[in-house]
Structure 1
Amino acid sequence: MDAAPPRSSGSTTSDIPGELAEELAAERRYLASARDALRRMRERAEKMLDVGAGVGGDAYASERLGFTLTRRVAQLSDQSDVPLFFGRLELADAIDDGSTRYYVGRRHVTDEESHPLVLDWRAPVSRAFYRASPREPLGVAVRRRFGSSGGALTSLEDEHLDRGEETGAASRILTDEIERPRVGPMRDIVATIQPEQDELVRADLSVSLCVQGGPGTGKTAVGLHRAAYLFYTHRQRLERAGVLVVGPNRALIQYVSNVLPALGELDAEQISIDELPAVAVQGVDEPDVAALKHDARMASVLHRALWSLVVPAREPLTVPYGSARHTLGPAALDRVVEEVLESAPTYAAGRDRLRARVVARLQRQVESRHAEAPSETWFRSTSRSRPVTRFLDAVWPTVAPEQLLHRLLSDPAVLAAAAEGVLTDEEQRLLQSRVPARTYRRERWSSADAFLIDEVAGLVERPRGYSHIVADEAQDLSAMQCRALARRSVHGSLTVLGDLAQGTTPWAARSWHDTMTHLGRPDAALVPLTTGFRVPSVVMDLANRLVPELGLDVPLATSLRHDGSLRVCRVHDVVAAAVDECRSALAREGSIGLVAPDSLVDDVAAALAAAGLAWNHADDLAGEHPLTVVPATLAKGLEFDTVVALEPARVVAEERRGLNRLYVVLTRAVSDLVVLHRDPLPPALEEPAAAR
């Protein structure tokens, strides 16, 4: 049967039919009571914090208690500009607590008797809010959605699933929320999660996902909301080992950094990929050198270089016991070294294990000759004695990761031995084309060097691990960057997000299988998201004309949105025209991104300043101005209501993967896109073009 139209209200009660006006007024009263309850929950938490601050039995316990209570207070903060709930479920039958009505919101709110007033969107019951349909109602009779503005309820919309009603994509409330102008950092999407997105969000911790999502399909939001869901479902485990969110640069991390805290999750670590290694980056490689250093083969070279430091013993090891002396010869020592190597330890653990086993052999020798067991003191002192340390330094020497890399990049003989059969002679010369510093402590390491150092550091000692890692824009990760993430994945639980069409680094992935293999999860499920909710179809259609030129097997993203606008204009002075477009856009509501080829950014900034227009830098999206100047190389992952994109041909010309970069630039607009150019457009964008 056909779906009946939803019952909905307008923005005020004065122009709504009586019954609906009364219902909206009742829901507003319920919201006010829920806010009062949340305030009381926070006050109780604050009292517990005041009382419990010094209650712990020792300094550590007191600190942990204080940390836990402080976090609880922060989690109970009320966002005044966002309602506590966005939906309501009327179930056909009561469940365990005898209720049939549940409000769904961003966090759990209870009354004085601990009865739920609002259910967390991640709770099992809330799943039905996102997935129920007339075909599979999941026990839901009526689903109600709420529209809001400034934290107040402004409308409601009912779907009687028991009568076959479903608005789906036609929901006015959903459409208004998705198309709402955005200024500042990214917001959560808990009110608009679609069924296919919800399935990914609620995937179990044991499942690793690779999401191939076109622009505007919500892949970043899916990854962040999955992290929030896993915190809710596996809190103790995730709080112990942690969750890591990694993006391509600080601009994107800043853009998404408010999503998890807004959902009450404060413990995720959010960093750019270049912040992962603990190495100060001061140098820059030539593109060919950087690409080689990011190659997976470098892992084999580094492995060889490190373990080649372990050499056979040349001298016996002798230690005293009383007036006697006890000796292990080179052959016996080498057998111990082989035993340790077979146990496959990290380099540092292997040295410690070798020390312990050698001293244990000497201890057994003492016991067999003296019929007595050496004291624990003798064992400890012998372990740290000069003869034992000298033996270790000769056979299994300590080494700093930076020291090893410096030696490898500065000594042709060392590199040749480590790279034999792995790198060509030409590649070895390329690696050593930069004049090295005199010592490793004075070296100006590049970003690519940092991941080589991290690789060695991971061989020397295991890094801190995380229970779950979310990697956004992962199509741009190199093999060595993937390995750095894999080393930190305690259980191999990953959410990998990206779009092969948006790969812009020289080493960008051409298939997800390769990336997931380097991440240690070649069997991860690959899930496509192709339905766009943010980028209007007129903009998406233009950008999709570039996809066949990229040589990739990726599904085209389509958009549900048929609003928005596109203008492609050839102008005499691109910078002056950009200033005019920005001035016009500032008269409208919403954010504006002026995206320019990197070589034009300084000219654009100077022209805006001369025109008296204030703007934010790309790394300060939380700034006070609606206008942001974005170099094309930093546009990935960002979105603006209006985008003014300059000189597509120059964007293409300035990078090896310039067409991919242009695809990124053209898909940053969520309402209006203006393309300004003086140079001829790339052939794929030439006539027939949309609205000129």
Structure 2
Amino acid sequence: MTMDQKALQKEKERLQEVMQLLVKQIDLLEQTTGIRGHEVRELKTHFWDDMSVNLTNDTETMETFSSIQQEARLLSEREKSYRLAAERLQMLVRLEQSPYFGRIDFVEEGEAEAEAEAEQIYIGLASLMNEDGSRFYIYDWRAPISSMFYDDSPGPASYQPPEGARIAGEMTLKRQYVIREGELQHVFDTDLTIGDSLLQQALSDSSSEQMKSIVATIQREQNQMIRNDQVDVFIVQGGAGSGKTSAALQRVAYLLYKHRNRMTADQIVLFSPNPLFSQYVSHVLPELGEANMRQMIFQELTEEALGRFYTVEDLYDQTERLYTSRNADWKQAQKTAIQWKASAAYFEWLDQYIRSCAEQAGMIFRPVTFRGRVLITAEQMTEAYYGFPSDTPIDRKNVLMKKWLHKQLDQAEKEQRKKKWVQDAMEWVDDEVYQRVYQRVQKKGGFQAESFDDDQQVRKELKKWIVNSKFRKLRAFVDRDRFLDDEAMFLQFLRQRPPFWEDENEIDLLRWNEMTEESCRLIGEGRLLAEDASPYLYMMEGLRGFSRVDGSIHYVLIDEAQDYTPFQYAYIRHRFPRAKLTILGDIHQGIYAHNESADSFHTVPKWLHAQRDERLSFKMSYRSTAPILDFAQSLLPEEQRSIPFDRSGPMPVLIEAHDEDEAFDALQALVREQVNSNRIGIICKTMENSRELYQKLQQAAIQIGVEPEDIQLVVKDTQRLSGRMVVLPAYLSKGIEFESVVLWQVDGGHYDETDRRLFYMAATRAMHQLQMIYAKSAGLPSWWNEIDSDLYTRAEGRSTEDRSSSFEGRNDENQSSSRTAFDKRGDRVE
């Protein structure tokens, strides 16, 4: 809907008024922060200058303490005032670039009859009022009244204030803006729930290293997810580029805004797939005006509990292990074991094993030894443990067991004081220790009785001290639950016959036994496979009644949720018992071995013990152009495909080379064309492939036209993208996007029948351009025949040194249109 010139002029004048107010408030805050900052520095510098420290008696000490407290409170108040002013200044500076993005005109019920003017509600990243606070120029997008912008179209509308009844009325206008550097670039009226025109404008810009804030482009279902804080578990299924993560971070910003008086950012946890993804999203919340939440990778929890005892394989090393395996039978046996160990049946089997051990039999204990002799045998501990009532909860049994062990240690200490080694140790006690023991006896009043033998009492206390100091390690052994032999119990569990195998499945059972013995052998060597790590962690914590608890966390968000197993979900629930969970994932991006036969992550409420859960599906995909998404989704069931946002671009290109050498020549030419326009993501299947290609590109860097340092290899610990050319394995590209993507070696020798999801996921990393290179001598994967040939362009690599283009199209018409689109879109700088 177009606007008349008069309305447009009014909008420009209003924007200028807002800009003037912003400049005025920014100037004032700059002065305030300068003054507050100076006061804080002065207080810190001269904190002790005027302080009179007198500890001569109790009265003087209390006065000194009171004076220090008073000065510390003053400093704390000044620091808080400075911090708040600085944060507000930072937000106003951000508003100065784009003060608002939406407007609604709203008339409350009852006011329409009185012919009252509609209230003009402008919506932006933060609120802005005039100096006396009597007028809102901008409403924060998270304010209750702003919800109508996302939920309603012109016509009947309503919102729920923090207190009182819902307020209803009529929305008479809905308008959206694109403002850049304080200048009005686009403005349009719309009756859509979400203005696709604005989204198109936002996505036409180049991507930066940080995810873009798309507050102005929230769909209705995204807004429902962002503002709903009533359910225990919120589950969101969304295809690649559907805005799941962006909406989740906006949800965090909204929750922090709504509950700002009782919750801080460090009471929210986001589980990310890897450090690069964590860094990738770390700038979004500050962009929305909030501090960053805590970020975790589940592997960190595993390392925290098991890293002292084992080298714990992670999901990426497991994937590389499978992808690079040369023995097909062994690889299949490994995948079968991985899938079984990630299944719901395996979880229930282990859960039953834990309960059985705790209630009936199976607990294995480490004996408590001292000076080469056993003080408390494993048999004694077993008898004590099963002497408690069988219906005693596991955590309570663990507490009772520790109390019993400490009593045994108390008795053993008394007996050890009589031993000769204690008498010998007394001869070597230094004077400092002797004096401490002497003063302790004196403090207890041991020298007051006339008939007391002073030396005998000191020697008695000295024996206590010697034995007690030696027993500290034994008490720590008990307090840290080391008396439970977790490793022996896990090996015992692994070697049990799986309940689902019948006698006729001897071949499968033989393979399972081989995999089991491999796991057991590695555990004996101090190495823990990824498929064993989560069950081991769950068992270890389960036998203790899940003692590691963080009750301060209010919300937990899990991204790439399809990659989590029942063990991991159950552990997260026990670790954060009070938290409400937001689960985000895409079943089609389940690329790991355990995903191939796993159920959808929509079953997770069972493992999270959710009483109230809600599910949403994000159908629209925004990242990739329509041609790229149509191509990538051709491998998915039609009913499960996302709807591509109507954004045009060149068709994907399949470049066919005769052999590997010609394929690398084609890659060099392709990169040479684009490297000065876009950051290029070159995605290989494995890390082994990535390292090999990275080395070749390093050697050819000058020939390509870049410096070697412009080429970056992404590994699992990489935290940020810095190269103009980024080489990485497909499984590390989750959540990342590039203007241009090259898929390297897409032949059947690298991608097999089980790699459909991996290929889909890698292809959807591309925003505007997707090129794929393979050697015809290796052929294409078998599933390539399912891809409609109209969805991509075939081209040939050229091996001549003087070629002017990286490929020669076989379909001249398609190729011409593809290159024209590239010329229009390929000159963007990220």
- Which band: TM-score by shorter chain? 0.7 to 0.9
Partner of 1:270: 295
Match of 2:785 among 671, 683, 687: 683
**Which letter maps to 1:120?**
D
Q: Using a 3 Å threshold, how does the CA distance of structure 1 residues 438 and 173 change in structure 2: closer, same or farther?
A: closer
Q: 1:547 aligns with which of 626, 636, 640?
A: 636
Q: CA deviation at 1:127?
A: 0.9
Q: Deviations over 1:618-665 (max 9, x none)?
A: 4657444444223111122211222222233459636x8411111101
Aligned equivalents of 1:65 and 1:244: distance in 2? 28
| Secondary structure in 2 matching 1:563 | coil
Quick one: distance in 2 between partners of 1:144 and 1:526? 30
Q: Which residue, 107, 110, 113 being the options, matches 2:132?
A: 113
Amino acid aligned to 2:650: S
Matched, 1:153 2:153: no
Q: Distance in 1 between matches of 2:684 and 2:231?
A: 42
DSSP-derived class of the 2:789 partner = coil
Measured at CA, do residues 136 and 402 of structure 1 come closer, stay the same or move farther in structure 2, by a change above 3 Å? farther
1:33 maps to what in 2? 21
TM-superposed deviation, 1:435: 6.2
**What displacement does 1:497 show?**
0.6
Asked whether the equivalents of residues 401 and 453 of structure 1 are also in contact (C-alpha less than 8 Å), the reply is no
Contact conserved, 1:109 with 1:117, CA < 8 A, in 2? yes
- Please report how far the alpha carbon of residue 409 of structure 1 lies from its aligned counterpart in structure 2 after TM superposition: 5.2
Q: Give secondary structure in 2 for the equivalent of 1:191.
A: helix
- Checking the alignment, whether the CA contact within 8 Å between 1:107 and 1:120 is kept in structure 2 is yes
CA–CA distance in structure 2, aligned partners of residues 99 and 309 of structure 1? 73
Classify the secondary structure of the residue corresponding to 2:652. strand
SS at match of 1:187: coil
Partner of 1:516: 605
SS at match of 1:601: helix
In the TM superposition, what are the counterparts of 1:77-116 in structure 2 within 5 Å? 77-78=90-91, 80=94, 82-92=97-107, 100-115=119-134, 116=136
Contact 1:473 1:497 in 2 (8 A): yes
**Structure with the bigger percentage of helix:** 2
RMSD over aligned CA atoms reads 4.5
Larger deviation, residues 575-584 vs 337-346:
337-346
SS in 2 for 1:565: coil
Q: Structure 1's 563 and 687: CA in aligned 2 closer, same or farther, altered over 3 A? A: closer
For each residue in 1:118-168, what CA deviation from the matched residue of structure 2 results, as whole angstroms up to 9, or x when unmatched?
A: 32211111112222312444443333322133x333324242xxxxx5256
1:615 partnered with 2:704: no
**Alignment partner for residue 567 of structure 1, among 652, 655, 663?**
652
**2:255 alignment partner, one of 230, 239, 249:** 230
Alpha-carbon offset, residue 204 of structure 1? 1.4
| Cα distance in 1 between the residues matched to 2:227 and 2:652 | 40
Q: Which whole-Å deviations, capped at 9, do the CAs of 1:177-224 have from their partners, x for residues lacking one?
A: 133210212122112112221111111143421111112211111222
**How many correspondences in the alignment?**
619
Partner of 2:574: 487
Summarize the Cα distance change of 1:428–1:66 in structure 2 as closer, same or farther, 3 Å threshold. Answer: farther
CA distance in 2, matches of 1:201, 1:438: 44
User: Aligned residue for 2:238?
Assistant: 213
Q: Percent identity?
A: 20
Question: In structure 2, the residue corresponding to 1:125 is in which secondary structure?
Answer: helix
Unaligned stretches of 5+ residues in structure 2: 48-67, 112-116, 159-169, 322-333, 366-379, 410-443, 445-460, 503-508, 795-830
Does 2:548 align with 1:462?
yes
The 3 A distance-change label for structure 1 pair 88 and 250 is same
After TM superposition, list the pairs within 5 Å mapping 1:65-80 onto structure 2: 72=84, 75-76=87-88, 77-78=90-91, 80=94
Q: Are 1:340 and 1:353, in contact at CA under 8 Å, matched by a contact in 2? A: no
- The change in CA–CA distance for 1:89 and 1:50 in structure 2 (over 3 A counts) is farther
Q: How does 1:269-668 map to 2 (within 5 A)?
A: 269-277=294-302, 278=304, 279-280=306-307, 282-284=311-313, 287-288=334-335, 290-291=338-339, 293-294=341-342, 295-296=346-347, 297-301=349-353, 338=388, 342-345=392-395, 348-351=398-401, 400=481, 404-408=485-489, 427=512, 430-434=515-519, 436=521, 443-455=526-538, 456-457=540-541, 459-460=543-544, 461-465=547-551, 466-508=553-595, 509-521=598-610, 524-548=613-637, 555-572=640-657, 573-588=662-677, 590-598=678-686, 599-609=688-698, 610=700, 611-613=704-706, 614-618=710-714, 622-649=720-747, 653=751, 657-668=754-765
Q: Which has the larger radius of gyration?
A: 2
Distance 1:492 1:70 in 2: 32
* Equivalent position of 2:437 in the other structure: none
Q: Secondary structure at the match of 2:183?
A: strand
Q: Distance in 2 between matches of 1:437 and 1:70?
A: 55
TM-aligned CA deviation for residue 436 of structure 1: 4.8
Identify which range, 215-224 or 521-530, moves more after superposition: 521-530
Q: In 2, Cα distance between the equivalents of 1:128 and 1:176?
A: 22
TM-score, length of structure 1 as denominator length: 0.76
Q: Confirm or deny: 8 A CA contact 1:146 1:153 kept in the other structure.
A: no
**Aligned-partner Cα distance in 1 for 2:179–2:17:** 14
Distance 1:402 1:179 in 2: 61
Whether 1:144 aligns to 2:185 is no
> Quick one: distance in 2 between partners of 1:651 and 1:298?
38
The structural deviation recorded for 1:263 is: 1.5
- 543 and 232 in structure 1: CA distance in 2 versus 1, 3 angstrom threshold: same
Q: Is the CA contact (8 Å cut-off) linking 1:188 and 1:259 kept in structure 2? A: yes
**Which residue does 1:368 correspond to in 2?**
none
Return the offset for 1:268: 1.0
Range that drifts further, 636-645 or 467-476: 636-645
CA contact (8 A) 2:654 2:792 kept: no
Give the partner amino acid of 1:639: E
2:8 aligned with 1:20: yes
The counterpart of 2:149, out of the listed 129, 132, 139, is: 129
Whole-angstrom distance in 1 between the partners of 2:602 and 2:263 = 27
Q: Following TM superposition, by how much is the alpha carbon of 1:474 offset from its aligned partner in structure 2, in angstroms? A: 0.5
Q: C-alpha separation between the residues in 2 aligned to 1:402 and 1:667?
A: 50
Q: Deviations over 1:577-597 (max 9, x none)?
A: 223223323343x54322222
Alpha-carbon distance, 1:500 to partner: 0.7
Q: Is contact 2:155–2:171 with CA below 8 Å preserved after alignment?
A: no
Q: Does 1:243 align with 2:268?
A: yes
Q: Which amino acid aligns with 1:568?
A: V
CA distance 1:605–1:340, shift in 2 (3 Å): same
Unaligned runs of 5+ in 1: 9-16, 160-164, 313-329, 360-376
CA offset at residue 501 of structure 1?
A: 1.1
1:475 offset after TM fit, Å?
A: 0.6
* Aligned equivalent of 1:174, options 157, 177, 199: 199
* Deviations, residues 69-120 of structure 1 (Å, cap 9, x unaligned): 6764564324658423222333335999x99233322223344334544322
> Structure 2 length as normaliser, TM-score?
0.64
Kept after mapping to 2: 8 A contact 1:178/1:192: no
1:147 touches 1:156 (CA, 8 Å); kept in 2? yes
